[in-house]
Amino acid sequence: MDPFAPLGRTMDAGRQQCTYSPGDIPANDCGAQATWHILWAPNGDAGLACDPHMAEARHRFVFTDSHRVGPDCDMPGTAWSFDEKRCFHPGELVTVTAAVEVPVREGAA
Ligand SMILES: [Zn+2]
Ligand SMILES: [Zn+2]
């Protein structure tokens, strides 16, 4: 069996739905809410999968990387981060959220 997933047509993935589509025809689109983002090849071909179809992809196909779907997955202008296991906007500022520490006075009379 061909270890490479048939990528088929480019789908509108802006709604982050599973792009599994046997036969690559719209009537067969899974359409479930995607939970996984799969990078099929280093060139950037990526797909979205629901839990059952991610399991099938792991079983049947080779792919480059995967991570849980986040808010930036498959959105225009985003890039894949292998290290952080997510998608991100390349221009995004790295915001460090510092917890505001409120001194706790113990035993204050
Ligand atoms: Zn699916
Ligand atoms: Zn992603």
Burial environment of residue 6 by CB neighbours within 10 A (0 to 12, 13 to 18, 19 or more): exposed
- CA 92 to ligand 1 centroid distance, Å: 30
d(CA 19, CA 6): 11
Distance 58 CA to ligand 2 centre (A): 16
CA 19 to ligand 2 centroid distance, Å: 13
The band of 74, judged by pLDDT with boundaries at 50, 70 and 90, is confident
| C-alpha 46 to ligand 1 mean position (Å) | 14
CA of 17 to the centre of ligand 1 (A): 8
Least confident of 13-17, 19-23, 74-78: 13-17
Task: Decide: 35 and 48 in contact? Cβ < 8 Å.
Answer: no
- DSSP state letter for 84: T
Provide CB contacts within 8 A for 68, sequence distance 6+.
Answer: 35, 36, 37, 85, 86
Q: For residues 90 and 40, give the distance between their C-alpha atoms in angstroms, rounded to a whole number.
A: 20
Q: Which ligand lies nearest the alpha carbon of 57?
A: 1
* Residue 35 pLDDT exceeds 90: yes
pLDDT digits (tens, 9 = 90+) for 42-58: 888 899 999 999 999 99
Confidence of residue 91 (pLDDT cuts 50, 70, 90): confident
- The whole-model pTM stands at 0.76
